[in-house]
């Protein structure tokens, strides 16, 4: 497992977690103003992110796809050009006690067999809080939606 103790990323790139690599982004980190995604997780990559921020991503804040796995706890994901968190293509993500706001479209969007748990998360301030486009599994408890 790779642990990121402090990172501030302000580039045209993004953090890319894949090929069964496990990355833990710890408290106090900020991933900001990336032209594409803030963080992308795919191909068996595993992300654990705690107490950090993904801000003003050009596309999506957190993109979990192609069998990626993510756990995000007490984080802020805001200001993305598209969606705050996407979970799709057989991927699994759990979002706990986060603030996901001010994204152009959905706070969290599941499609193509995504599996998501969104727990005690503030999803206010997006054009739509949650979107589940069929053949997905979504558990949601205690979220602020309006």
Within the chain, strands assigned E span 2-4, 8-9, 15-17, 22-25, 30-32, 39-41, 46-50, 53-55, 62-64, 69-73, 76-78, 85-88, 92-96, 99-101, 106-111, 115-119, 128-133, 137-141
Give percent of the chain with pLDDT exceeding 90.
Answer: 81
Output the average pLDDT for the chain: 91
pLDDT at 5: 45
**Is the pLDDT score of 6 beyond 90?**
no
**Is the pLDDT score of 44 beyond 70?**
yes
Q: Compute the distance between CA of residue 23 and CA of residue 59 in angstroms, rounded to an integer.
A: 21
Give the residue among 77, 116, 72, 114 at the shortest CA–CA distance from 97. Answer: 72
Q: Is the pTM of this model over 0.75?
A: yes
Ranges 24-33, 60-69, 78-87, 124-133: which has the least confidence: 24-33
Quick one: average pLDDT of 47-72?
97
pLDDT at 146: 82
Q: How many CB atoms lie within 10 A of CB 132?
A: 17
pLDDT at 13: 59
pLDDT at 15: 85
Between 85 and 6, name the one with better pLDDT: 85
Which of 5-9, 17-21, 33-37, 62-66 has the largest mean confidence?
A: 62-66
CA distances 8 to 55, 114, 139, Å, are: 11, 29, 32
Q: What is the pLDDT of residues 80-117, one digit of tens each?
A: 999 999 999 999 999 999 999 999 999 999 999 999 99
């Amino acid at each position: 497992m790779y642990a990121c103790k402090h990172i501030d990323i302000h580039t045209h790139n993004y953090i890319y977690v894949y090929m069964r690599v496990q990355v833990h982004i710890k408290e106090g980190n900020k991933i900001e103003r990336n032209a594409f995604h803030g963080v992308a997780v795919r191909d068996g990559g595993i992300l654990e992110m705690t107490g950090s921020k993904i801000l003003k991503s050009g596309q999506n804040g957190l993109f979990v796809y192609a069998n990626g796995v993510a756990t995000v706890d007490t984080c802020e994901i805001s200001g993305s050009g598209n969606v705050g968190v996407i979970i799709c293509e057989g991927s699994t993500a759990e979002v706990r006690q986060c603030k996901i706001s001010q994204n152009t479209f959905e706070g969290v969007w599941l499609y193509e067999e995504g599996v998501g748990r969104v727990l005690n998360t503030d999803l206010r301030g997006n054009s739509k809080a949650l979107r589940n486009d069929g053949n997905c599994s979504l558990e949601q408890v205690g979220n602020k939606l309006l």
